[in-house]
Structures are given as C-alpha cells and as structure tokens.
Amino acid sequence: MSVDLVKELLGEVFKTILLVSGPILLVSLLVGLGVSLFQAVTQIQEFTLTFVPKMVAVFVSLFIFFPWMVKTLIAFTINIIEKIPVYIR
C-alpha cells in the first residue's frame, strides 16, 4: 500500500464523515444559535431551554436524513470492499 493510496483513502474517509455528519451538525448549530439569540433578547437563562430544542431538532433531522446517510455509508463501504484488491497490492 503506497503513501498516495493511503492519502486517497483518508481523503475519502474524511469526505464521507463530513458529508454524513454535516447536516446534523448544521441543524444543531442553527438551533443553538436561534435559542441563544432568543435567550439574549428575552434575558431568560433557563438551562433546559438550550438542550431540549437542540435534542428535538437533532432527532427530527436524524429521522429526515437517516435514509440518505445510510445510502452514503453503504456506497462508501461498497467502494472500499471493491478496492480491496488494489489495497493489497
């Protein structure tokens, strides 16, 4: 296994990780920003107000994005398995 092959494989791994986790992290970021803005405007400093909307938004976004995430991970896994002969050389 050459250095170039390892760099290509790691590039694919990191791209897949970012692609799969990106939508969930983006939803969490936007909801957290909205809740923080709401708390700053209203001066309500309730601890549960920061966690509950984020958790609900992440679960809803997981429900929405899960089929796409699974397809992406399956395609990545199939790609890795198909390239095993190339990696062995």
User: Which sequence spans correspond to the domains of the chain?
Assistant: 3-88
Q: For residue range 22-60, list pLDDT tens digits in order.
A: 999 999 999 999 999 998 898 888 878 888 999 999 999
**CB distance 76 to 12 below 8 Å:** yes
How far is Cα 74 from Cα 69, in angstroms, rounded to an integer? 9
pLDDT at 47: 78
The pTM assigned to this predicted structure is 0.80
- Centre a 10 Å sphere on the Cβ of residue 70 and count the other Cβ atoms it contains: 11
Top pLDDT among 11 and 89 is at 11
Q: Supply the pLDDT for residue 49.
A: 81
Q: Taking all residues of the chain, what is their mean pLDDT, rounded to a whole number?
A: 91
